[in-house]
Amino acid sequence: MILSDDDILARLETGDLVVEPIDDLDMQVQPASLDLRLGEEFLEFQRTNISCIHPNRESEVSDYVTETHVPEGEEFILHPGDFVLGTTKERVEIPADLLATVEGRSSLGRLAVVIHATAGIVDPGYKGQITLELSNLGTAPVALTPGMRVSQLVFTELTRPSSRPYGAERGSKYQNQKGPQASRIGADPEFAGTPSEETAVDGVDGTDTDE
């Protein structure tokens, strides 16, 4: 069951669903969703100085990502073909019996701006700001202003609360994140035992050249 505006307001009132700060409930609460605003921090991907991205080498992040801070009232220009990580201004706490889905606002979609590539799910138990995967699929640059409503959350009630919600007990990588966070896929179990940043030789692979 998808929560209506009355359901969302009731959950916010009881405090088991947390979205803060909300400056204007009437503006941000929609018929069956809750609008979230754009934060001030961005991670921009650089194409120079790297041959490729190795998902299991977290230390490479600083080689291909730079952080930009844009205060409210100023603009971040998203150029055609650009991909950047942004963040919501709001911090959320999702209870164990809800699943939240991040969606783009249709007004931005009509400007060819999408707000997530694949990460549309906010799991039960998640706490923190939400990283947005911003892309411009159009042919003209678009000015994004921190503080503008840029995305919306849709809440679905589970048939029963999750018994293993997102969080420290699951080793969840992004719990309590603040600001946009680069990929931490290298911490995934499937990379255990694979060549890592510590064993890499000359940035090519983790093969030991000495037998």
Instruction: Tell me the three-class secondary structure of 49-101, residue by residue.
Output: CCCCCCCCCHHHHHHHEEEEECCCCCCEEECCCCEEEEEEEEEEECCCCEEEE
Residue located via tokens 């359901």:
7
DSSP 8: H
166 vs 123: CA distance, rounded Å: 6
Tens-digit pLDDT profile for residues 193-210: 655 444 443 333 333 333
Q: What is the mean pLDDT of residues 64-89?
A: 92
Say if residue 5's pLDDT is above 90.
yes
27 vs 44: CA distance, rounded Å: 30
Q: What is the mean pLDDT of residues 127-132?
A: 96
Burial class (CB in 10 A: 0-12, 13-18, 19+), 96: middle
Which one of the listed residues 40, 133, 157, 197 is annotated catalytic?
Answer: 133
Tens-digit pLDDT profile for residues 7-55: 999 999 999 999 999 999 999 999 999 999 999 999 988 766 666 666 6
200 vs 113: CA distance, rounded Å: 37
Which domains, from first to last, does the chain contain?
5-49+60-157 (2.70.40.10)
Instruction: Give Dmax (Cα) for the chain.
Output: 68
- CA–centroid distance for 163 within its chain: 24
Give me the pLDDT at residue 25, please.
Answer: 95
Q: What whole-number percentage of the chain has pLDDT above 90?
A: 64
Residue type, 182: A
What stretch of H or E contains 156? strand 149-157
190 is catalytic: no
